[in-house]
DNA sequence: AGAAAATATATTGTATACAATGTCATCAGG
DNA sequence: CCTGATGACATTGTATACAATATATTTTCT
């Protein structure tokens, strides 16, 4: 893939992530092309690729529109993510936790603790929690050594709402509690990994995803009831 | 996606599946374009899409080559597939097996029994077993009602070696035993689904995948030792 | 003759032109 | 006033031409 192709795809993906389009909004190739300062050619393949990623959907001769999701769709995706990461955790525990992965995970735990401490005191936003969370999960998946697994998860990663940082960053009703629970689970997961408890690690990781799902439901409900506005990065439509 | 785009992508995918290219062989756009009787444009996006599917890999300004796999790669993919289908089976068992799915599964069981009977008697090839197997697995995944799961599995489906029919069709050392074991497992899985035993259904499905992995290893060993030639549809390179 | 530079060739990457298709508004007929 | 056809417009789909980049070959100098 060429430099421009790749850049265009990445930029468009980013735009969709950041809510540059309304859910279901139509994307015309020429408009997007001129907006990005490139020709239609790279835009076309970008759209095709993003279609496979599930960010847009196209119909023959009628172009593309950005995909809209129901809360259930997202919940399903989180389920898949949890299952795959659970598998990763089990593999890592069974094959033995590599030294550098163990250190990375410890580092993440520390960072998480610090962020939460600060958050509880100062109350400022904890957007760096998402970054740490991302590192935590990636480290485990990488350590699993299963390339297919990595690819599969990469795909769910491309869906913005499943991306851990998005879920974490999102201003949920009770971010503090969210983070505390997640952090506790991270500790338990590392414990299981270090002790080589495969089944437990898998179960914990699934439960970890379950918490995300619950948070999602709370968020979804609060959006549907109009209590909170829908952030543009979550392109949810109420089914 | 246009008609020609889609057709070109499908045709190329089919070609790779059928072993039209050697593992690692380079694909030049213009050659392929003229071979397919289309311009380079649709070929280009086809290649980009197939790259995301993992069938080819491209490097900037240097074009694409068809992907080659190690036995371990395939084993990993089967693992992922088993995990996801295990999840599907659990969901179906928990949510209750829909009427039409139950019938479809029963039908598959019957067909399978008949095929094996015939195979044991006449010894002719059982290529239609693969078709039945495909239907069986798809029915369960569909019944799970999880769209993300379906998409994820669709992706592993696109990798020919994981596709159940390929694994089944392949002339393994002991196809008869293979099929008998698989068929028995199908029976048990249906039983679990009908009884609403989620955990058992999941475990059975995983074990089902495990058997595929074992068969793969046997096949891989026999290929590596030169006992059997590598069928072109399995683009394995010995790491 | 061997190594480095320069040129030639092939292939990919991008833009544009044209064709095909779909969409929408206008207008005739009921 | 509504329904259905007709034509203008917009947008997508495909092909080709050109530019940029990599690879192979030849040339040149030591």
Q: What percent of chain B has pLDDT over 90?
A: 57
* Phi, psi dihedrals of residue A65, rounded to the nearest 5°: -135, 155
**Could you tell me the sign of the dihedral formed by the alpha carbons of A143, A148, A153, A158, in that order?**
positive
Range with lowest mean pLDDT among A30-39, B30-39, B77-86, B230-239: B230-239
pLDDT band, residue A104 (cuts 50/70/90): very high
pLDDT above 60: residue A207: yes
Comparison of pLDDT for B227 and A170, the residue scoring more? B227
ipTM: 0.87
Q: What count of CB pairs under 8 Å joins A to B?
A: 83
Pairing of strands A56-59, A63-66: antiparallel
Q: Between B74 and B195, name the one with better pLDDT.
A: B195
Residue in chain B closest to A56 (alpha carbons) equals: B1
Report d(CA A119, CA A151) in Å as an integer: 34
Q: For chain A, how many residues are written?
A: 239
Place of tokens 């058997």: B211
CATH topology of domain B72-224: 1.20.120
For residue B160, report the phi and psi dihedrals to the nearest 5 degrees.
-60, -40
Give the distance from residue A4's alpha carbon to the nearest chain B alpha carbon, in angstroms. Answer: 10
The minimal CB distance from B83 to the residues A44, A73, A83 is found for A83
Q: How far is the CA of B24 from the C1' of D27 (A)?
A: 35
Contact A146 B1 (CB under 8 A): no
Which residue of chain B has the CA closest to A148? B77
The CATH 1.20.120.530 domain(s) of chain A lie at: 71-224
> What's the CA–C1' distance between B82 and D2, in Å?
59
The CA distance from B198 to B182, in Å, is 19
Confidence at A172, pLDDT banded by 50, 70, 90: low
Q: Domain B3-66: state its class.
A: mainly alpha
Q: For the CA atoms of chain B, what is the radius of gyration?
A: 19
Most confident of A13-22, A52-61, A85-94, B223-232: A85-94
3-state class percentages of chain A: helix first, strand second, coil last, to nearest 5:
70, 5, 25
pLDDT tens, position by position, A119-155: 777 766 566 777 888 899 999 999 999 999 998 888 7
Give phi and psi for A123, each to the nearest 5.
Answer: 80, 10
Q: Which of A122, A93, A8 is nearest to B48 (CA)?
A: A8
Longest dimension (CA), chain A: 56
Q: Measured in angstroms, what separates residue B12's CA from nucleotide C6's C1'?
A: 39
- Do B231 and B22 touch, CB atoms closer than 8 A? no
Q: Under CATH, domain A71-224 is a member of which superfamily?
A: GntR ligand-binding domain-like (1.20.120.530)
- Chain B closest-CA separation from residue A168 CA (Å): 21
What pLDDT, on the 0 to 100 scale, is given for residue A103?
98
State the nearest Cα–Cα gap between A213 and chain B, in angstroms. 14
User: Among all strands, which nt has the closest C1' to B59 (CA)?
Assistant: C12
Longest dimension (CA), chain B: 56
pLDDT exceeds cutoff 60 at B65: yes
Q: Residue B45: which of A45, A77, A148 has the nearest Cβ?
A: A45
Query: What is the rounded average pLDDT for all residues in chain B?
Result: 87
For chain B, give every residue range classified as CATH 1.10.10.10: 3-66
Chain A contact probe: residue of B74, B80, B95 with most A CBs at under 10 A: B80
Interatomic distance A233 CA / C16 C1' (Å)? 35
Alpha-helical (H) ranges within B61-197 are: 71-95, 99-122, 127-144, 147-158, 164-169, 175-194
Residues 6+ apart with CB under 8 A from B26: B63, B64, B65
Structure tokens at B221: 């060993």
A2 touches strand D (CB under 7 A): no
CA triple A83-A160-A225, angle to 5 deg = 95
**A6-57 pLDDT, tens digit each:** 999 999 999 998 889 999 999 999 999 999 999 999 999 999 999 999 999 9
Mean pLDDT of B17-27: 91
Contact status, residue B161 vs residue B119, Cβ threshold 8 Å:
no
Tokens (6 digits) for B219: 């096949």
pLDDT digits (tens, 9 = 90+) for B125-137: 566 777 888 899 9
Q: Residue B187: is its pLDDT beyond 70?
A: yes
In chain B, list all ranges with CATH 1.20.120.530.
Answer: 72-224
Q: Which residues of B touch A54 (CB under 8 A)?
A: 151
Q: Which residue of B has its CA nearest to A159?
A: B148
Per-residue CA distances from B60 to A70, B44, B151, B169 (Å): 37, 13, 28, 37
């Amino acid at each position: 893939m060429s430099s421009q192709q790749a850049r265009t795809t990445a930029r468009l993906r980013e735009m969709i992530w950041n809510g540059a389009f309304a859910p279901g909004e139509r994307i015309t190739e020429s408009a997007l092309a001129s907006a990005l300062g490139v020709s239609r050619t790279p835009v076309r393949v970008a759209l095709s690729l993003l279609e496979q990623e599930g960010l847009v959907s196209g119909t023959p001769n009628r172009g593309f529109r950005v995909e809209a999701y129901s809360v259930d769709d997202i919940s399903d995706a989180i389920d898949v993510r949890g299952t795959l990461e659970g598998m990763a955790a089990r593999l890592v525990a069974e094959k033995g936790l590599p030294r550098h992965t163990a250190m990375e995970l410890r580092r993440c735990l520390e960072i998480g603790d610090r962020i939460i401490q600060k958050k509880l005191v100062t109350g400022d936003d904890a957007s760096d929690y998402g970054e740490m969370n991302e590192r935590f999960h990636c480290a485990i998946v990488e350590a699993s050594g299963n390339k297919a697994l990595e690819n599969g998860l990469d795909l769910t990663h491309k869906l913005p709402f499943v991306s851990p940082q998005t879920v974490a960053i999102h201003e949920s009703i009770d971010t503090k509690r969210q983070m505390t629970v997640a952090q506790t689970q991270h500790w338990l997961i590392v414990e299981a990994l270090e002790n080589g408890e495969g089944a437990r690690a898998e179960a914990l990781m699934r439960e970890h995803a379950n918490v995300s799902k619950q948070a999602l439901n709370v968020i979804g409900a609060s959006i549907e009831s109009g209590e909170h506005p829908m952030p543009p990065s979550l392109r949810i439509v109420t089914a």
